[in-house]
Amino acid sequence: MSLRFLYNILINIAWLGLKVIALFNAKIKLFVQGRQKAFPLLKEQLPLNSKTVWMHVASLGEFEQGLPILERLRSKYPEHKLVLSFFSPSGYEVKKNSSVADLVVYLPMDSNYKAKRFLNLVNPELAIFVKYEVWPNYLYHLKKRGIPTILVSAIFSSRQIYFKPYGGFMRKSLGKFDHYFVQDENSKKLLESIRFTNISISGDTRLDRVSKILERNNQLEFMDRFKNNQLCMVAGSTWLEDEEILINYINNSKEKVKFVIAPHEIKPAHIEKITSALQKRTVLYSTIGNQNLKEFDVLVVDTIGLLTKIYSYANIAYVGGGFATGLHNTMEPAVFGIPIIIGPQFEGFKEAEDLVNEGGILPISSKDSFDNLVDDLLNNPISIKNIGAINSNYINSNRGAADLIMKHISKIM
């Protein structure tokens, strides 16, 4: 029995299992029902004989990495239809109406039959997979059909199955790509260690994305009123572990500074927990109206979609998730040239690892280490400026991945 045959059996069993779980789990229900709609959507909305480019991403983070390429494809190849597929409901449900692609769908399960059916309907001239996405049946049939297929913003670790003695099947699937655009030298060396070639070190396309943030209007009228030309610390995408440390500092701080907390969880019960614990004058974004915001010390942002612009008002940023749940986006505040504080768990987040080493991102491990660090920064404006410059310089010096990838694409389309 071949490993590919066994893989197909397991994929079909997994699909049956997911359909059962979907009866009791809302997220899995989206996962299943969304995939059941993928083929009808393709039939209805993708005209026959369209010239297409297909990009596949896992979720929102990978979408952000793919976006600079999608935007350039739209500009350079306006006659082509862009098909974007997601693996995760958390990505698809947020971006299903995005205008950056002509059609956004869930990726059907990676069975032999569904992979062939998907490719029959999409019939791409080029397939682009982002970061970690390696699906054996899709890659097998793309290779079999001679469709150029590239992996972009990829990053590899020796812990991954491709580099293990027992990883032959997945290693063979990974080998189906025609070109690899990797984020760093270590990833290139790992691919070369398993005799892969056609590798370019391009960096992370997300840096092209975040660098564009500076070109837009980031002004927020309510932030002008709230900050009132004072020092401001913005804590974004915070979780409970982060908020305990932040609230302790805010309640005990004697510094003249404004605080913004934009939690990851914005359900009313969680927002109430934050506001009830704060002892300083606090206002919710949803209730600001025409209030005199300069009278408040803390602004709690109980909505989504504003955080990036709010970071533009920060003198110091705290990015949540580094205590357990997974570090959130540190590049959005970094682009504004400000120091960034994070929790202790940042391994596997390349840009965070780089900037911790360079001194632009500052990890803390406890309330005491946070208190001491913030006090030192607030009392040393030169240090704030110098540390922030490390972050903006990092982004400026690592841009250009999307342009490098587009040069390659222009040669094969």
Asked whether the beta carbons of 27 and 92 are under 8 A apart, the reply is: no
The CA angle 343-63-180, to the nearest 5 degrees, is: 95
- 86 forms beta bridges with 57, 106
How far, in Å, CA of 220 to CA of 204, rounded? 29
d(CA 247, CA 22): 38
Q: What are 204's two structure tokens?
A: 């992370």
CA dist 271 and 240 (Å) reads 11
Phi-psi label, residue 356: left if phi above 0, alpha if psi -120 to 50, beta otherwise: alpha
Report yes or no: 156 and 186 within 8 Å, Cβ to Cβ. Answer: yes
Residue 276's CB: how many other CB atoms inside 10 A? Answer: 9
Catalytic position from the list 44, 62, 93, 272: 62
DSSP bridge pairs for 319: 236
- Active site annotation includes 93: no
Catalytic (active-site) positions: 62
